[in-house]
Amino acid sequence: MIKILAIDLDGTLLDSNEDISKENINAVHYAIKKGVNVILCTGRPYSMAKYCAKKLNIQNDKTIIITNNGSMIQYLKDASIVLRNGLDKTDVMYWKEKCAKVDIPITLVDSNYCYEPLEYVSQYESQYSKRSSTRELKMIEFENISSNEIFDKIVICTEQELLDLKTTQLVNNNDTKNYYIVRSEPVLLEILNNKANKWNALKYIANQAGVHDYEIMSIGDQMNDYEMIKHSNVGIAMGNAVNDLKIIADYVTDTNINDGVAKAIYKFI
């Protein structure tokens, strides 16, 4: 019996217009009536998860969401933090130096803002702030960051061909051990605390609730969903998912524009 259902947002619950279909809304409520705890699980910040929860009408005092690719678990009612695994100034300066060496842009991200350096480290412009409608851009001196300041992730957002070329130059084996590094979109590389991914956050919530892995179902479409799709008892890849996710999924549902979430819910719950 499924007790927890984790649903990604972009490319999964949301259609190409960033809306939620009536069929998906009805299916989510069907799952809730069956006693399933539905958890929105996204790389986006709190504001976007709250928007989707409001569209779904699933808000209550106990509703928990997973944001920023698992670096944060928050209560939906007030954004208060249940768990946070972030990056500090040491991490920032390490990656700023690495990005400068390979000539690629760097952006810092927290729940409210994205930050770019006043003195740019690359000839290439970061595209992240132009893509992020939920975070305001601030230009700062990375060297002046406080030692106790925490960021949710570091992102490198640029043209796909450039990112393909630079990633192999940028990331070494030690980096993949010390950080969670994921290509969440073709144009977006994300660097997080090594404890921060969607599955680890989901597992924390499940442990607190006494829910076993075999009682968890998850649905997603990109590589930042990989761990939760792989480890959930029922891991569902969207029809529009990347191929590497489809390979390890238990089932491939329909696409995000054809109510794939709803179809998966009715099939397995």
Q: Which residues are catalytic?
A: 8
Q: How far is residue 96's CA from residue 141's CA, in Å, rounded to a whole number?
A: 11
Query: Tokens at residue 126, please?
Result: 């970061």
Q: How far apart, in Å, are the Cα atoms of 143 and each of 89, 91, 104, 113? A: 8, 12, 18, 18
The strand pairing partners of 249, in sequence order, are: none
Q: How far is residue 260's CA from residue 233's CA, in Å, rounded to a whole number?
A: 18
φ and ψ of 130, to 5 deg: -75, -25
Q: How far is residue 26's CA from residue 142's CA, in Å, rounded to a whole number?
A: 46
In the three-class reduction of DSSP (H, G, I as helix; E, B as strand; rest coil), residue 234 is classed as strand
